């Protein structure tokens, strides 16, 4: 909980540079149990993505998203390591936001550098806990006593420009793809192109829907249960890199047959 600044005048000149990672508040007794599906999700995302070399950028993005949050999430769940200092926290949120936009890692790392540097300069005189098991920009500025208007406006502009341009280019690319598909005469080629488009659309939805849900909950769900925030935060960083290899595995015929063979105990040849 946040301690109001006006409750103690002695807190005015203090600067808190250590934060508390909440994990799953109220469910500390089940952290070990909760960690099992989360660990499996991380494992699938880390092991499954490198096999798709033709989707190198997507794989690098997914791996980066996993590695940005894995140490602190599993540290909280397995070892109850909840405290994190300012510099590691700022670095984690910077890498996390850099990999949040799957279209251009180098671009996002550059545009998120300014608000990250501002986080290092802020005075954190409000002792309190971060909402998730990892550091997030929106969470950190809530604990700052400095003027955070630049970070708030800059972050909003990044979301609107970066995600807006991504959606625009996606719509343009699918318009061209649709026109090309309509010109295809052979049904087999048309179905193959449609299969590729469906897989890509699912991958896009798997990324944008959780991120959009997290933004909505963070801005409009202030009175919602903390577990709602924790759930959306965990889903937004783990669901996209987990589902991308699953979708591509199902789409790839050889991998699909191998999975079915394992499930059917070798009966499928």
DSSP 175-243: HHHHHHHHT---HHHHHHHHHHHHHHHHHHHHHHHHHHHHHHHHHH-TTS-HHHHHHHHHHHHHHHHHH
Alpha carbons 249 and 206: distance in angstroms, whole number: 15
pLDDT score at 266: 57
Alpha-carbon distance 198 to 209, whole Å? 16
232: tokens are 């959306």
| Alpha carbon distance 72, 23 (integer Å) | 9
Query: Given pLDDT bands bounded at 50, 70 and 90, which one contains residue 91?
Result: very high
Element (H, E) at 83: strand 83-85
Say yes or no to pLDDT of 53 above 60: no
Q: Are 15 and 25 in contact (CB under 8 A)?
A: no
Which of 50-54, 63-67, 107-111, 196-200 is the most confident on average? Answer: 63-67
Distance CA 122, CA 219 (A): 22
The pLDDT score that the predictor gives to residue 74 is 93
* Share above pLDDT 90 across residues of the chain, in percent, rounded to a whole number: 22
pLDDT for 197-223, tens place per residue?
777 787 778 877 888 788 778 777 777
What pLDDT digit, counting tens, does each position of 7-38 carry?
Answer: 444 444 556 778 888 888 888 899 999 999 99
| pLDDT tens, residue by residue, 235-250 | 888 888 888 778 777 7
Cα gap 145→15, rounded to integer Å: 9
CA 257 to chain centre: 31
Going by C-beta distance under 8 Å and a sequence separation of 6 or more, which residues neighbour residue 28? 80
* For residue 254, pLDDT beyond 60: yes
**Domain coordinates in residue numbering, the chain:** 18-267
The architecture (CATH level 2) of 18-267 comes to Up-down Bundle (1.20)
pTM: 0.76
């Amino acid at each position: 909980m946040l301690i109001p600044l006006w409750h103690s005048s002695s807190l005015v000149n203090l600067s808190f540079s250590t934060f508390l990672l909440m994990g799953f508040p109220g469910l500390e007794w089940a952290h070990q149990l909760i960690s099992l599906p989360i660990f499996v999700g991380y494992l699938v995302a880390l092991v499954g993505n490198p096999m798709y070399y033709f989707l190198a950028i997507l794989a690098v993005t997914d791996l980066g998203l996993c590695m940005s949050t894995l140490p602190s999430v599993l540290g909280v769940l397995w070892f109850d390591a909840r405290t994190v200092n300012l510099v590691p926290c700022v670095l984690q949120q910077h890498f996390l936001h850099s990999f949040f936009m799957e279209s251009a890692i180098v671009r996002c790392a550059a545009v998120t550098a300014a608000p990250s540097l501002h986080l290092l300069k802020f005075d954190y005189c409000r002792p309190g806990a971060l909402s998730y098991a990892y550091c997030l920009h929106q969470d950190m500025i809530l604990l700052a006593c400095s003027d955070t208007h630049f970070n708030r406006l800059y972050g909003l502009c990044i979301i609107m420009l970066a995600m807006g341009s991504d959606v625009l280019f996606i719509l343009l690319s699918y318009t061209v793809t649709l026109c090309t598909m309509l010109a295809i005469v052979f049904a087999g080629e048309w179905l193959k192109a449609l299969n590729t488009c469906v897989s890509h659309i699912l991958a896009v939805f798997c990324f944008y829907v959780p991120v959009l849900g997290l933004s909505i909950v963070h801005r409009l769900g202030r009175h919602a249960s903390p577990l709602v925030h924790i759930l959306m935060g965990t889903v937004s960083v783990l669901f996209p890199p987990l589902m991308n290899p699953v979708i591509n595995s199902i789409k790839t015929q050889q991998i699909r047959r191998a999975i079915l063979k394992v499930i059917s105990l070798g009966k499928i040849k």
